Amino acid sequence: MEWWNDLWTGIGDWAASTQGWRIISGAIIPAVAILVAAIVAGLIARGAVRTLFRHHERQERTNAVAALITAGEHAAKWGSQSPAARERAEELGTAATIAVRLLPMKGADRAADWAEARLESLRSSSVNVSLSPDIALAEFTETLAEWLHHPKRAKQLFIEPSTFAGRIAASGDYDASSGEREEATAALPAT
């Protein structure tokens, strides 16, 4: 134990000497400062990169959902479009559902499946003159926007289309007669 005390005494004497203090103030303190500065800079850069990635992912999700909503708007006008416009609208819908499937987000596959079924029902209801696709389009848009803000709710939001038709028919927002409600329910694809 005595050698331990001698070691610390020797280091203390050396640090108190002129030559020791010159080495400490000229090399050791700047080296420690540079090391601390590098660690702080690394942490700041890491935070900035994470923020950049989060912003990019948020932008990607928003663009994919916006593409689905645009495809829904085109599907709602399906009955009044030319064959070339219909083909283009169908391509938009397919590209949008693929973009949603590729998102690194909870419920992306479920949302894409749901959107495909809803797009098909919007196309069907736009061809049928007696049905107004506006309500279904509004619900389509609201559901996708809700999922965009709360991805963990995908199971509750993207229920089966037949269950959705029952929910629409039971809600007070739907002003159609019971005959139109049955037609709306029948127009939805069965899964």
pLDDT digits (tens, 9 = 90+) for 104-119: 888 889 999 999 998 9
Mean pLDDT of the chain: 80
Question: Around 156, how many Cα atoms within 13 Å sit in the side-chain half-sphere?
Answer: 6
- Which pTM was predicted? 0.63
DSSP sequence for 123-164: HHHHHSTTS-THHHHHHHHHHHHHHHH-GGGHHHHS--HHHH
- Confidence (pLDDT) at 160: 58
- Confidence (pLDDT) at 130: 55
Could you tell me the pLDDT band of residue 32, with boundaries at 50, 70 and 90? very high
Could you tell me the pLDDT band of residue 1, with boundaries at 50, 70 and 90? low
| Gap between the Cα atoms of 101 and 18, Å rounded | 69
pLDDT digits (tens, 9 = 90+) for 75-87: 888 888 899 998 9
Q: In percent, how much of the chain has pLDDT > 70?
A: 81
